[in-house]
Amino acid sequence: MCGISGVFSDHGLPEDAELRVRKMLAAIRYRGPDQFGLLIDDRVVLGSARLSIIDLGGGQQPICTQNQRFWIVYNGEIFNFIELRAELEQKGYRFTTHTDTEVLLALYQDEGPDCLNKLNGQFAVAIYDTLEKSLFLARDRLGVRPLFYTNRGGIFYFGSEIKCLLTGSGETGEICPVALGHVFTFWGCLPGQAIFKGINELRPGHWLLWQQGNITIKRYWDCSFDTSEAEENSVRSQKTTGELKEELHRLLIETTQIRLRADVPVVAYLSGGLDSSLIASIVRNHTSNKLRTFSIAFTDERYDERDFQMRMAHFLGTEHEVVEATHKDIGAVFPDVVWHTETPLLRKAPVPMYLLSKRVHQCGYKVVLTGEGADEFFAGYDIFKEAKVRRFWARNPSSKWRYRLLEKLYPDVFHQGQAAIGYLQAFFGNGLEETESVDYSHAIRWKNTRRLWRFMAKDVLAEAGNQPASALITPFLPASYRRWDPLQQAQYLEITFFLSQYLLSSQGDRVAMANSVEGRFLFLDIRLIEWSNRLPVNLKMRGLEEKYLLRLVGKDRLPPEIWQRTKRPYRAPIHRSFFHSHEPVYVRDMLSEESVKKAGLFNPLGVKQLVEKVSTGKALGETDDMALAGILSTQLLHYRFTENFPAVEPIGEEDDIKVCKLH
């Protein structure tokens, strides 16, 4: 895994272009501290910061084709590179390294952008064509690896992180009210956006070509639940549940095995839930890997799952380590996490993941297997169940018992008395009969989160606009969306606007790579994705039982207390991490009336009242908790990226750097 960056211009680069890219690499040194590389030409400077995992001695970038026409810098892993290399060798291609990087470059030389359809992996790539004088960028299907770009004064900057672009251009970040409004609705920016004005993110499943002053951006993949008539009538549709379970089991073994391809040891996260436990079980039983596992635990027992983690580690016999996160720990590193995620955070969940990857790094490991994606593609979240109950309820809105199916999801609320039940009924009854709305499954969540807008300053609100969530997401929906089953529609929304834009970024790549750790996501294997998308919906969620088919696989491999567990959302404490006996100094500073006025993003009175509410020990609801995290993280972003963006020393000759000059 690596970090990449670069500058490009059709009209020639500034004299200090090399220095700019050296600084851009220095800004993300942690993404690839092992080796560095530069390609320097009259129109382009490409940069690479390498975390060496495959071909440790021979994979230093940039790498070129045999005829030196194409040059590549690359961040990611192509897990099927061995098979692709064999195909290319049959066509006459010869390789000088054992890397997936060189295979990807040869495949691009052979097929152009169509090569992306053959890749099974997670990547962000830049390829320079010395003949056409063009720059090609591409990003993996789900956006596991980040890639940002901007055009400043005719110079095109790109990089793995926003701080690359700001460092290279010599500018600071200005928070965009429109993007802020989107984060305070969807938890992340909409695809293609970034939180700062003038910065774009290459959308997942897209490629970009800059040639002769023109930028072309095209989609090469989208998550689809379409099935042809032939598929509907195929032999596969007649397979039994048992046969499909065995197919899924074989796929899981294959996707795990290819994610163990590395020249360094691979470890795994173990949350105590179904997904990570299945991964660990497969590694232990179908590979020779001597698995070491890591998990996060909390001193706040409402979030703690260590008992299940330890039971699973004991069951598998793994060497296991628990990283305990205290309120003090979470509050202390929150500014660092915001610096790395480069976006406002409405949840604290990325913080413990940062602490966990830090420990993995301290133990000398670079690669970790993790279970993200299972809940999205096999329907594991409560939001899918809520939508199913609400649609059933909407068929008879006056029913006195249909809404009580929500008790299966929230039994604790139903034990709190009639007032709590009435609140739950009113909450989920909002927009109950609007079943044709494109965002029916997510409308309640997004409306609830949008309540955070009340803390924004008036001019920010005016610039943010007031489009409903349904209107904002409609341009991103495929033409066949309305033909899908309601569960599939809900899955698409979760995958497109939550998994790609928040989970894989803020909770995934950014906090892991901050500690030079590469996450590998077994459930995001393209074969597994496309297989699961063709499954009948009742094999994903049967009644209100989530991940039905996946549980059947787990039943054969895991202890009952693990495979039978109801999905428990991963969360971390919020306000107690900021306001406690060892309160971090920055909290009051960032939320002070002076700081809030200076940033100009929020209403100082509203923020003051929120702080007073927390300080006096009053109970804080979920919305206020999200508001506190969102406001504080946004204030920190403004402070670090707008007011005090740091200067960095460029990568120097004392670093292990490869410099290739073409002119």
Residues 6+ apart with CB under 8 A from 344: 180, 183, 184, 195, 630, 633, 634, 637
* Domains in the chain: boundaries: 2-221, 228-397+432-571, 575-643
The pLDDT tens digits of the residues spanning 305-340 come to 888 999 999 999 999 999 998 888 999 999 999 999
Question: Which neighbouring-strand residues pair with 661?
Answer: 40
Q: Which element (helix H / strand E) includes 630? A: helix 622-637
What are the distances in angstroms from CA 399 to CA 40, 387, 410?
70, 17, 19
- In DSSP notation, 79-139 reads TTHHHHHHHHHHTT---SS--HHHHHHHHHHHHGGGGGGG--EEEEEEEEETTTTEEEEEE
The letter for the amino acid at 458 is K
Please determine whether the domains at 2-221 and 228-397+432-571 fall in the same fold group of CATH. Answer: no
How far is residue 35 CA from its own chain's centroid?
A: 25
Decide if 415 contacts 154 (C-beta within 8 A): no
Q: Burial code of 83-101, b = ≥16 C-beta within 10 A, e = fewer?
A: ebbeebeeeebeeebbbbb
Sign of the alpha-carbon dihedral angle for 437, 441, 442, 447 = positive
Question: Which neighbouring-strand residues pair with 545?
Answer: 542
Gyration radius (Cα) of the chain, Å: 25
- In DSSP notation, 20-47 reads HHHHHHHHTGGG--SEEEEEE-SSEEEE
Low-confidence ranges of the chain (pLDDT < 70): 1, 228-237, 567-574
CATH code matching the domain that covers 228-397+432-571, chosen among 3.10.150.10, 3.40.50.620, 3.10.20.30, 3.20.20.80? 3.40.50.620
Q: How many residues does the chain have?
A: 663
Decide if 518 contacts 368 (C-beta within 8 A): yes
CATH fold of the domain at 2-221: Glutamine Phosphoribosylpyrophosphate, subunit 1, domain 1 (3.60.20)
Report which of 501, 531, 2 is spatially closest to residue 243, judged by C-alpha positions: 531
The pLDDT tens digits of the residues spanning 548-594 come to 999 999 999 999 988 888 766 666 666 778 887 778 999 999 999 99
pLDDT of residue 606: 97
Question: Which neighbouring-strand residues pair with 238?
Answer: none
pLDDT of residue 288: 81
Report which of 194, 245, 537, 252 is spatially closest to residue 373, judged by C-alpha positions: 252
Give the angle subtended at the CA of 198 by the CAs of 192 and 199, to the nearest 5°.
45
Query: CA 441, CA 341: separation in Å to the nearest integer?
Result: 27
Query: What's 134-184 look like in SS3?
Result: EEEEEECCCCCCCCEEEEECCEEEEECCHHHHHHHHCCCCCECHHHHHHHH
pLDDT of residue 622: 86
Residue 339, classed as helix, strand or coil, is: helix
The letter for the amino acid at 471 is A
Decide if 308 contacts 148 (C-beta within 8 A): no
